[in-house]
Structure 1
Amino acid sequence: MAPGNVVLEWNNIYLDLVRKIGGAPGPLSRIGALMHLAMYEAVTRLTATSPYPRHLRDSDIKDPKTNQVVMPGNAVANTTAAYAACHILTKAVEVYVSASKRAQGEVLNPFDPFQVRPGADSSSPALEVHTTDANAQASEAYGKAIAYALLAKYNPAEGLSPAVTLKPDQKGEWRDTGSGPALTPNWGEVDLFLLPPPVQDYLPTVIPNDLNNYEDLLESSMYAMQLAEVKLLGEANSTARTREQTEIAIFWANDLNGTSKPPGQLYTITQTVAQQQGTLVDVQNSSGNPTGNGLLETARLFAMVGTAMVNASIVAWKAKYFWPNKNQPLRLWRPETAIQRANEDGNPSTAADATWQPLSAMLSGMRFSPNFPAYVSGHSTFAAAHAAAMRAFFGRDTIAFTATTEDPHALRDENGIRRTRRFSSFTQAALENGRSRVYLGVHYQFDANGGYEIGTLVGEHTADLFEATVQTPAPSVMA
């Protein structure tokens, strides 16, 4: 078995948990990032030749019961990483589900694709140990201590408070379209992972400063053109949208509970590329000397991607609820509202259609728009950050790969199998992901462009944190 497979195995356990519990993309991406950071921290500490930075201090790694610093002893890298992942998932999911239920008033809405699923629990993932008892004990102690050190830094319950003042009577302001109240409005206020504050450094510039208020934006020609495009291409039964555009719209959606959500789709792409590029295996030169550690590189890749994506979620939500600033935020209404109420926007170039609905749909067929402001697109921000991390890790953009989808509405081939899509670069996939939200009828193109802008920036900055440095070898390492 390739050394890096343990990372993929736990990534799959995490994705299964996401499908099971559901919920908001930001907090879910946080759990994935915590898990992969814990695995990376374990592996880079227990690999004597690792040139990569550690993001915890030795003094942070303590027994959660005794508060005593835990040393690695005879811990084994892959087993320690697995224990770290297990303890992160067990605790983080428990805290997240409990906090989400409280934020929802203990009432779970089965029609809301972004709320924790009815019946969601925090069942512990199973852990199969592949080492001796003595090594397993040291590995679990060290892995658990790493997990709890990260949980202490990044509380899974943070940012779930629903308290925020919205003005649904203000033209242009986001309002409930029937898919639930504003979701995780304070998510943009939580700390970025590993990066210094402020999040304010990552606000978008696609909408120019002279239009960053409702009156000027809604009356602008820019807004009128954007609205006309999504009205034409994103309508549920649009005859202008091509078959491929419909396929693209649904392929990238993955909004519904029961899927692994947008970050999960990008993790699956990461798995595909890691396998085809040989990241999981140890590499030797022509003389038989090791030149690459499959476990270390796989752990680093997934930690880089996971951290980039949780940071993308934070900067996207900062823009959604607090752009251009907290005192006068522009929380832009969804196209569904904008088109149905275009007679209120003050723009002579727009026309209202009270019956317009987006292509986006729940399993029942009922149309919906995600329950948070439009600008910027979360999908686009996630995708751009993912692409930036992948480019940084592999050192190039032009790697071809095939991507899959879990969206239940996805188009299928003659055998009933959901269609895949082929891409020639990470950038191509990210741009298509953002564009898909226009075809789905839930975003304007400037939402996608703004998300790509800030997602790329935060992804690049995050990737820099995992680059090689001169480092003191880790103590007490066993092969």
Structure 2
Amino acid sequence: MDQPIGATIRRPVLRHRFGGLLRALLATVVAATPLVVAVGPQPASAAPANGNLIINGTFDNGSTQPWWTRLSETRTDVQAGQLRIRTLGERPNTWDDLVGHFEFGVEAGRRYRLQFDANTDVGRTLRVSVSRVNTPFTSAFDRNITLGSAMTRFTFDFTSPFADPQAVLFFHLGDSVASTVRLDNISLTPLPADPVTDPVLFWNDQLLEAYRVARDGVPPTSGSRIGAIMHAAMWDAAVSVTGTGQPYRARVPVHYPGTLDDVVAPSLEAAINQAARDTLVALFANNVHPGVDPARFDIALAQANGQLPAGVNASEIARGTSVGTQAATAILQARAGDGSGVTTPYTLDGVRGSWRPTEPGTSAVTPNWGRVTPFAMTRSNQFRPGPPAGAANYADLLGKQEYLDRVDEVRRLGGRQSTERTADQTQIAFFWANDVPGTYKPPGQLYAHTRIVAEPRGLGILGNARLFGLVSLAMADAAIAAWDAKYETGIDLWRPESAIQEIEPGWKPLSQRPNGVSFSPAFPAYISGHATFAGAWAGVMRAYFGTDAVPFTGTTEDPSAIGVRRSFTTFTQAAQENARSRIYLGVHYQWDADAGLATGTSVAARVFSTQLRP
């Protein structure tokens, strides 16, 4: 760099308040003219009460305060209620000649709207940036605009990729001919969280749609794994861009040269979009779930990037895309050998009380899932419950009175022709079912309920990324823990349908397909996957929001409960009803529900205490 500058800072307050910025400018910017302060700054408390972070952006009071000018020959005054800037030009870099505003902060992941009116006496470009106050001068917003003689209104939305309590707004006047620029009505306003443009919510919707369109449905096991990988990749992309939070798998390095000619930060939304797209394309490749064409996620990516803020530039998108790709690659590689692709057929125990298909020609679904590498648990059986009724084996279990009582309860309340089940219990059964193709399946329903709770609370991109990431990891490990209990223990318990038909031939569960045919899910009963998912979901939600008392109204997609809404006062109430619903549906015993809730709760505690720290 050429000779140091800054020997004549005219106001001591700037040496104290903006010393970091000025020292950085001195160290990196080529200039030959001393820095000069046009006006003294006002305290941050003078900011308008309407949310605008800019002090005196209208200049109606006739003052230029607190606007700061870098060069002594650049003159500012207020004329006709506008800030008039007269610059001599002849500076090689845009940042050599600056007019700026300090004394405001930005939050990582928060969207802002920058607005101003501007014109000039000669046609020229003007660089506008919202940047870090110190090296590496990363820009949250950086655009070149073309000015003419007509006063023009400019509006740009942008998402800050970093948090800085002392950000700066700069109008760069260098690298141009001598000119007079007029500015007016300058505002920088934080925007409320918008679910329409939130990339986390967008891609969660894409995930649920993939669950729906899969021709044979996506099993809750592989479905929960897909959700965890996608959401974890989005979280890792987000924390890589913002530099905050504990990544799940890897923090992608984001380097800046520390000079004002290259301050481009990755776009947060572009990084999240690419991470989601890349994981979903990989996870639905090779027709692994027929009916889900991976090309749909390229279409979704174009749609998502079409919603990027107007203030984002092409370089920011490119860098964000690179971060997202690397985040997705890291977690996909980590999960490549996790055992989810093992297809060893299940061997029936072949004794009374053991699971067997309830429909001819069917086989056990994902029987090896209990051996999949967990996402947060130390091992798949970390929270394995004891056997039903504490039984030592099948014969011991079937000889217990508790077994007879549990079977009889399902016979009375869960049969298709039950006369004891109430109308409300029937509604509960179908509301939580979502077992058939065409629905978002049990994990999808809980993702939907997560959004129902999160959306009105305006968590923002980072808040949603963390919440959905935690929920997804908990549900993925809940599936592994539940399937461990189903298949990897000494009792692979038969479904109530098999047990009850011994004493009441022809008994069928309430559970049914859209064509009205009754069915029981094709895997052992103990423990309930629904209940384990519910316990994991409720545990994360309680921990995240710091309370159980969060009322919400949930939805369903089960074809036997179209349009049904059910309201809950706590997460625990919803989880307990979810678990109990399986008895009313005729596919589980109460101990399946109880053990599932307990296991899921333990999984949630593990996930929340060890993963995705903010």
For the aligned pair, the TM-score class normalised by the smaller chain equals 0.7 to 0.9
The answer on 1:243 being equivalent to 2:423 is yes
Q: Using the TM superposition, give the Cα deviation of residue 164 of structure 1 relative to its aligned residue in structure 2, in angstroms.
A: 4.1
The answer on 1:85 being equivalent to 2:276 is yes
Match of 2:521 among 343, 346, 370: 370
- Secondary structure of 1:183's counterpart equals coil
CA contact (8 A) 1:206 1:450 kept: no
Report what 1:108 is aligned to: none
**In 1: Cα distance, 2:548 partner to 2:225 partner:** 26
- Secondary structure of 1:422's counterpart equals strand
Q: Using the TM superposition, give the Cα deviation of residue 466 of structure 1 relative to its aligned residue in structure 2, in angstroms.
A: 3.6
Match of 1:303 among 459, 462, 469: 469
**Normalising by structure 2, what TM-score?**
0.63
**In 2: Cα distance, 1:174 partner to 1:321 partner:** 10
**In 2: Cα distance, 1:20 partner to 1:6 partner:** 21
Match of 2:246 among 53, 77, 81: 53
**In 2: Cα distance, 1:357 partner to 1:156 partner:** 40
**In 2: Cα distance, 1:322 partner to 1:73 partner:** 52
Report what 1:381 is aligned to: 532
**Normalising by structure 1, what TM-score?**
0.80
**In 2: Cα distance, 1:199 partner to 1:156 partner:** 15
Residue-by-residue CA offset, 1:102-158 (whole Å, 9 max, x unaligned): xxxxxxxxxxxxxx55x4433331213223222222111110111011111113984
The answer on 1:194 being equivalent to 2:368 is no
The answer on 1:330 being equivalent to 2:496 is no
**In 2: Cα distance, 1:76 partner to 1:363 partner:** 44
Q: Which amino acid aligns with 1:233?
A: L
Q: Which amino acid aligns with 2:471?
A: V
Report what 2:433 is aligned to: 253
**In 2: Cα distance, 1:156 partner to 1:87 partner:** 18
Q: Which amino acid aligns with 1:405?
A: T
Report what 2:485 is aligned to: 319
Match of 1:124 among 281, 289, 296: 296
**In 2: Cα distance, 1:55 partner to 1:169 partner:** 42
| Structure 2 gap ranges (5+) | 1-191, 255-262
Report what 2:412 is aligned to: 232
CA contact (8 A) 2:239 2:251 kept: no
Q: Closer, same or farther in 2 for the Cα pair 1:467/1:9, shift >3 Å? A: closer
Structure index of larger Rg: 2
**In 2: Cα distance, 1:457 partner to 1:133 partner:** 45
Q: Using the TM superposition, give the Cα deviation of residue 297 of structure 1 relative to its aligned residue in structure 2, in angstroms.
A: 1.0
Q: Using the TM superposition, give the Cα deviation of residue 295 of structure 1 relative to its aligned residue in structure 2, in angstroms.
A: 1.5
Q: Which amino acid aligns with 1:366?
A: V
The answer on 1:276 being equivalent to 2:421 is no
Identity across matched positions, percent: 41
**In 2: Cα distance, 1:35 partner to 1:457 partner:** 23
- Secondary structure of 2:331's counterpart equals helix
Q: Which amino acid aligns with 2:515?
A: S
CA contact (8 A) 1:162 1:186 kept: yes
Residue-by-residue CA offset, 1:32-90 (whole Å, 9 max, x unaligned): 11111111111122224x2x2112345899xxxxxxxxxx9731212101111111111
**In 1: Cα distance, 2:579 partner to 2:536 partner:** 12
Report what 1:404 is aligned to: 555
Matches within 5 A, 1:375-454: 375-410=526-561, 418-454=563-599
- Secondary structure of 1:199's counterpart equals coil
Q: Which amino acid aligns with 2:381?
A: Q
**In 2: Cα distance, 1:238 partner to 1:160 partner:** 40
Residue-by-residue CA offset, 1:421-460 (whole Å, 9 max, x unaligned): 0000000000000000000000000000110111100111
Report what 1:214 is aligned to: 394
- Secondary structure of 1:124's counterpart equals helix
**In 1: Cα distance, 2:556 partner to 2:443 partner:** 12
Report what 2:59 is aligned to: none
The answer to which structure has the higher strand fraction is 2
- Secondary structure of 1:14's counterpart equals helix
Report what 1:14 is aligned to: 207
Report what 2:321 is aligned to: 140
Residue-by-residue CA offset, 1:141-182 (whole Å, 9 max, x unaligned): 110111011111113984243324423531111001117200
| Structure 1 gap ranges (5+) | 62-71, 99-115, 280-293, 324-328, 342-351, 413-417, 470-479
Report what 1:101 is aligned to: none
Q: Which amino acid aligns with 1:373?
A: P
CA contact (8 A) 1:370 1:442 kept: yes
Q: Closer, same or farther in 2 for the Cα pair 1:274/1:206, shift >3 Å? A: farther
Residue-by-residue CA offset, 1:274-320 (whole Å, 9 max, x unaligned): 012222xxxxxxxxxxxxxx211110000000110001000000000
**In 2: Cα distance, 1:157 partner to 1:457 partner:** 22
**In 1: Cα distance, 2:201 partner to 2:252 partner:** 29
Higher RCO structure, 1 or 2 (CA under 8 Å, sep 6+): 1
Report what 1:286 is aligned to: none
CA contact (8 A) 1:434 1:448 kept: yes
Q: Using the TM superposition, give the Cα deviation of residue 200 of structure 1 relative to its aligned residue in structure 2, in angstroms.
A: 1.6
Q: Using the TM superposition, give the Cα deviation of residue 233 of structure 1 relative to its aligned residue in structure 2, in angstroms.
A: 0.3
